Structure 1
């Protein structure tokens, strides 16, 4: 990690290592809002970027995400720099949460938080990203919008998932939890609900 953003008290008992999704950086509006909200509960929140996103920031050019082996190693390195252990919960937005779930058991962290898990690419239900979730041992919470095209309730309900995984549905939310106007909910309502769920999970996390 060449750069991080840290929110919350330095002496916090629990820390949350929070990774971005495939398309937006660690200081996107979504990442900023969630990080500040969780930090307000007394958690130290650490945001970092994968190598490809750092390159985008440095060059001003686009570029596809790094290969899985690079992403997973980057997360392992970030865990080490953050201190690791049961007091550290790891996770992220979409791809960031997926990579966190892939390294959690070996890292021995306190828990995993996935905000909008990419169960499959939109419109490609056959290309699931769930194999490793069947045997995941680390306590995990997945926050998923009920309109998320990466995994709808009726689809997710048919997957074989580890008993360590808990799924919380964000009402009428899309992949970033944004609801439709006609739902009677606002994006702020759903983000606040997500923050509360994340904070509660981290507070109760003990690892395995």
Structure 2
């Protein structure tokens, strides 16, 4: 299997995969972020093939914020979902952390490509300290089950703001609150990957 065109890394399950999970990174990160590695490991343990990949701007430049157009990054998400869809006959889950998750949600809202579930980590409801600039206008166009995994101390959105955003989606949603976690979702007490995967599997069922 060649994931080179999307700069992807596969976490393979023991047997034939139940389905495929395709996840990407936040604005300052890349496919090797601790969160993506841990979540993909958890999916593989549950029998799914999980792929973490770099967005087009990160393939062009190893460091720094997104450069070029967000539309180009969304095209890269469509490409990644297309490449990975053929790797299993089962369901396909797409999403990502922060910026990557937001762009994936915009791809799904546009109807350009179908997925079975959206998995959004630290969704940036608004820029830090600027609740008057919500990034939620496309959410009512999402028609697939969506899991939000969110830290209660995330400056990109309070738990209340995140729940209001989730309520805009025209499909079942689940919000997984990580008590005390900030935007990176690190927690000393909670198993964040397991909680996120559990919620996704509940919605898929």
SS in 2 for 1:127: coil
TM-score for the superposition, normalised by structure 1: 0.83
Equivalent residues in 2 for 1:113-192, closer than 5 Å: 113-159=119-165, 161-164=168-171, 165-178=173-186, 187-190=187-190, 192=191
TM-score for the superposition, normalised by structure 2: 0.84
The question of whether the paired residues in 1 share the 8 Å contact of 2:98 and 2:120 is answered with yes
Unpaired stretches in structure 1, ≥5 consecutive residues: 179-186
The question of whether the paired residues in 2 share the 8 Å contact of 1:56 and 1:63 is answered with no
SS in 2 for 1:175: coil
User: Which moved further from structure 2: 35-44 or 138-147?
Assistant: 35-44
Equivalent residues in 2 for 1:36-51, closer than 5 Å: 36-51=41-56
Counterparts in 2 of 1:92 and 1:100: CA distance versus 1, 3 Å? same
Q: 1:17 and 1:2 mapped to 2: Cα distance?
A: 11
The question of whether the paired residues in 2 share the 8 Å contact of 1:134 and 1:161 is answered with yes
**Aligned residue in 2 for 1:79:** 81
Task: Report deviation, 1:166.
Answer: 2.2
Counterparts in 2 of 1:63 and 1:175: CA distance versus 1, 3 Å? closer
Counterparts in 2 of 1:158 and 1:141: CA distance versus 1, 3 Å? closer
Unpaired stretches in structure 2, ≥5 consecutive residues: none
Question: Hey, which bits of structure 1, 4+ residues long, moved more than 4 A?
Answer: 157-160, 204-207
RMSD of aligned alpha carbons: 2.2
SS in 1 for 2:182: coil
Q: 1:40 and 1:26 mapped to 2: Cα distance?
A: 19
Counterparts in 2 of 1:152 and 1:133: CA distance versus 1, 3 Å? same
SS in 1 for 2:61: helix
Q: Indicate which of 13, 17, 30 corresponds to 2:18.
A: 13
Q: 1:62 and 1:172 mapped to 2: Cα distance?
A: 27
Task: Report deviation, 1:130.
Answer: 0.4
Q: Deviations over 1:146-183 (max 9, x none)?
A: 111001023334445124232221111111123xxxxx
SS in 2 for 1:189: coil
**Aligned residue in 2 for 1:90:** 94
Counterparts in 2 of 1:188 and 1:43: CA distance versus 1, 3 Å? farther
